[in-house]
């Protein structure tokens, strides 16, 4: 419930602070006194967009702050979702800065407007003629029926499973899309893959083939140079090996004389060993070297294949070609296995849909049970509100799709006159009738669910005195379950309140300001007498006011 409201520097309000109690609270005042200003301030708490033009003094900050006792509202889960600290006494503050920037806080934690709206709609329901159109909205009509049917738990379970079902459907749609794309690409991918597989790609093969190609392609030159090198090393008279052997022989005779001679001898000996090894290897290479035109053609062809593939795929190494081959293999494999994956996903969807259908049947059965009771209560309440011939027909039609709250489509039909045709509520009911229907529905709902604080904004417009008395009685009954505010021009309703506030204007230092004052017993008598007979209060009006209050 709303326990306190503070408004500073908003429209015609300089500064206002007022506390509220439970029960039925009446707000009255002359037309233009500022009741709409009060509602405008409260709408900021509900997350309405701020407008710098509504600030009284644009050089100062505008602040609207509301204190709510939410202990009975079961809002801990919502606070958790919105990442807010839960407090049984919650303070919502809205600020409009001189720059025009708006800020919102819940228990001193900054919040965005989406979070403020999510919380605000659970705390305060401002019922205006515009909101009456909500009656014709399917979502609202389902909320009413499901509240009476106590379907909240079943719908929560259904909603959670529906999310999973939609994810599965999206995954299946994606698989079908992938299959369609894959089928288009499959033949080409298979061709590319076979081309790479036929190449028998091996890591490092390119370098090996290029080396072999250079050898085979230049074999005569290589043989000639190896042969010449062999002769230079092994010639009997001038061969390098023979010459170095002679050097070694000469130094061997000096090695025993001193260490430097021995060191040089050892080095020559090592060089001779290495030179002999080189000689043997050149000899082996020369002997192994054979011209092979056929092998040269094979190597050349394989290199040409590699170069063509690299050019085709815009890569530079065999390793990258192998990676492309593996990726293509995966694509072809996935395409070939898509049908099995799709079948598996379809079976999973079928299992989930069967479970969803069980849940929707339970939801539908609960709705069908309470619809007659809802119709009965609505018609009874409307009869007391001057609509004795009002009749409702509520029908549930089956949908082939899973909707957000089941598989039902709703027809909420209304007839205002005896023998009249049933028609859609929006077409069949006038504005005044819709207001009374909304009051009747909210009063019924208050017996089945914890409604937020509700503020009726002149719901009694165009209503006669006797009907207004009935409306007041309904609001009184509602206020036993919840906090109810009503802005009214009718004394019959004003007299029913547990507390009474008056909105009025006064000039302070030649500046008009809107004020809100709680009336005591005597002031209430005068206020209601003025509502009965005008500003000049007569004794009969005072007596009548006392009778209404009693």
**How far is residue 450's CA from residue 435's CA, in Å, rounded to a whole number?**
21
- CA dist., res. 236 & res. 245, Å (int): 12
Quick one: pLDDT at residue 437?
87
End-to-end CA distance of the chain: 27
CATH class of 1-123+452-519: alpha beta
Report residues of the chain scoring pLDDT below 70.
Answer: 129-133, 210, 212-218, 220-222, 226-228, 230-231, 234-238, 244, 246, 284, 286-292, 295, 299, 334-336
- Report which of 37, 311, 338, 12 is spatially closest to residue 171, judged by C-alpha positions: 338
Q: Could you read off the pLDDT of 161-209 as tens digits, one per residue?
A: 999 999 999 999 998 888 887 777 777 777 887 888 788 777 777 777 7
In the beta sheet, which residues pair with residue 391?
A: 415
Domain ranges of the chain: 1-123+452-519, 180-336
pLDDT at 546: 92
pLDDT of residue 105: 95
Residue with tokens 């606070």: 79
Helices 318-384, 293-313: axis angle to 10 degrees equals 30
Round to whole Å and give the CA distance between 125 and 132. 12
pLDDT at 254: 78
For the stretch 235-265, pLDDT in tens is 666 677 777 676 777 777 777 777 887 888 7
Closest among 517, 158, 214 to 359, alpha carbons compared: 158
For residues 498 and 25, the answer to whether their CB atoms sit within 8 Å is: yes
Instruction: Supply the pLDDT for residue 104.
Output: 94
Distance CA 164, CA 154 (A): 16
What is the pLDDT at residue 280? 76
pLDDT of residue 397: 92
Backbone dihedral angles phi then psi of residue 304, each to the nearest 5 degrees: -65, -40
C-alpha torsion angle, residues 541, 544, 545, 550 (rounded to 10)? 170
Give CA–CA dist 353/219, Å, rounded: 76
Residue 486's contacts (CB-CB under 8 Å, 6 or more residues apart) are: 24, 25, 26, 27, 455, 456, 459, 460, 475, 493, 497
Cα–Cα distance measured from residue 45 to residue 130, given in angstroms and rounded to the nearest whole number: 18
């Amino acid at each position: 419930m709303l326990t306190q409201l503070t408004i500073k520097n908003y429209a015609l309000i300089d500064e206002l602070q007022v506390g509220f109690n439970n029960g039925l609270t009446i707000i009255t005042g002359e037309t233009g006194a500022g009741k709409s200003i009060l509602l405008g301030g409260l709408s900021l708490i509900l997350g309405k967009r701020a407008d710098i033009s509504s600030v009284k003094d644009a050089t100062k900050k505008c602040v609207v702050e509301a204190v709510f006792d939410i202990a009975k509202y079961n809002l801990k889960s919502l606070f958790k979702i919105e990442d807010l600290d839960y407090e049984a006494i919650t303070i919502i503050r809205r600020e409009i800065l001189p720059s025009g920037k708006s800020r919102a806080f819940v228990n001193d934690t900054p919040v965005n407007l989406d979070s403020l709206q999510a919380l605000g709609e659970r705390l305060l329901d401002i019922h205006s003629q515009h909101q009456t159109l909500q009656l014709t909205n399917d979502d609202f009509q389902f909320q009413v029926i499901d509240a009476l049917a106590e379907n909240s738990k079943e719908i929560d379970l259904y909603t959670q499973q529906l999310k999973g079902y939609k994810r599965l459907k999206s995954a299946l749609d994606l698989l079908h899309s992938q299959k369609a794309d894959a089928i288009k690409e499959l033949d080409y991918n298979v061709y590319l893959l076979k081309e790479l597989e036929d190449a028998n790609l091996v890591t490092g093969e390119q370098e090996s083939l290029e080396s072999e190609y250079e050898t085979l392609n230049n074999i005569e030159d290589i043989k000639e140079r190896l042969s010449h090198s062999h002769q230079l090393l092994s010639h009997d008279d001038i061969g390098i090996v023979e010459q170095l052997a002679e050097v070694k022989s000469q130094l061997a005779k000096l090695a025993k004389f001193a260490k430097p001679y021995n060191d040089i001898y050892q080095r020559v000996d090592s060089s001779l060993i290495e030179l002999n090894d080189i000689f043997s290897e050149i000899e082996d290479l020369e002997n192994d070297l054979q011209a092979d035109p056929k092998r040269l053609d094979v190597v050349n062809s394989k290199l040409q294949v590699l170069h063509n593939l690299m050019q085709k795929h815009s890569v530079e190494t065999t390793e990258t070609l192998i990676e492309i081959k593996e990726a293509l293999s995966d694509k072809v494999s996935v395409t070939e296995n898509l049908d099995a994956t799709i079948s598996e996903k379809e079976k999973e969807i079928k299992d989930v849909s069967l479970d969803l259908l069980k849940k929707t049947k339970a939801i539908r059965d609960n709705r069908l049970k309470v619809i007659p009771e809802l119709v009965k209560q609505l018609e009874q309440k409307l009869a007391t509100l001057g609509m004795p011939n009002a009749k409702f027909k509520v029908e549930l039609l089956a949908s082939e799709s899973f909707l957000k709250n089941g598989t039902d489509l709703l027809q909420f039909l209304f007839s205002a006159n005896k023998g009249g045709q049933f028609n859609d509520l929006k077409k069949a009911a006038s504005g005044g009738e819709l207001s009374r229907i909304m009051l009747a529905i909210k009063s019924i709902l208050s017996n089945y669910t914890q409604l937020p604080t509700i503020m009726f904004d002149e719901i009694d417009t165009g209503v006669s005195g006797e009907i207004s008395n009935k409306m007041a009685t309904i609001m009184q009954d509602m206020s036993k379950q919840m906090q109810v505010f009503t802005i009214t021009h009718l004394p019959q309703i004003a007299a029913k309140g547990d507390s009474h506030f008056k909105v009025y204007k006064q000039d302070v230092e030649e500046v008009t300001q809107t004020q809100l004052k709680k009336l005591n017993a005597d002031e209430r008598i005068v206020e209601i007498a003025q509502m009965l007979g005008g500003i000049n209060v007569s004794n009969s009006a005072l007596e009548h006011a006392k009778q209404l209050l009693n």
